[in-house]
Amino acid sequence: MPRFAANLSMLFTDAPLADRIDRAAKAGFAAVEVQFPYELPAATLRARLDANGITMVLHNLPAGDWAAGDRGIACDPARQAEFRDGIARAIDYAQALGVQQINCLTGKAGAAPSDAITRATLVENLRYAAERLAKEDLRLLLEPVNGRDVPGFWLDSVDKALSVMDEVAAPNLFLQFDIYHAQRSGGEIAGTLTRHFDRIGHIQVADNPGRNEPGTGELNFGFLFSLIDRLGYQGWIGAEYKPATTTEAGLSWLATYGDNA
Q: Which residues are catalytic?
A: 143, 240
CA-closest candidate to residue 103, choices 121, 87, 115: 87
Task: State the amino acid at position 237 in one-letter form.
Answer: I
Between CA 91 and CA 12 the distance in angstroms is 26
Q: Which residues of 126-155 are buried (b: 16+ CB within 10 A; e: fewer)?
A: bbbbbebbeeeebbbbbbbbbbeebeebbb
Say if residue 243 is preceded by a cis peptide, omega within 30 of 0. Answer: no
Task: State the amino acid at position 25 in one-letter form.
Answer: A
104: enclosing H helix or E strand: strand 101-104
CA dihedral of residues 109, 111, 115, 118 (deg, nearest 10): -70
Q: What angle is formed at CA 138 by the lines to CA 164 and CA 75, rounded to 5 degrees?
A: 30
CA-closest candidate to residue 227, choices 181, 261, 186, 195: 195
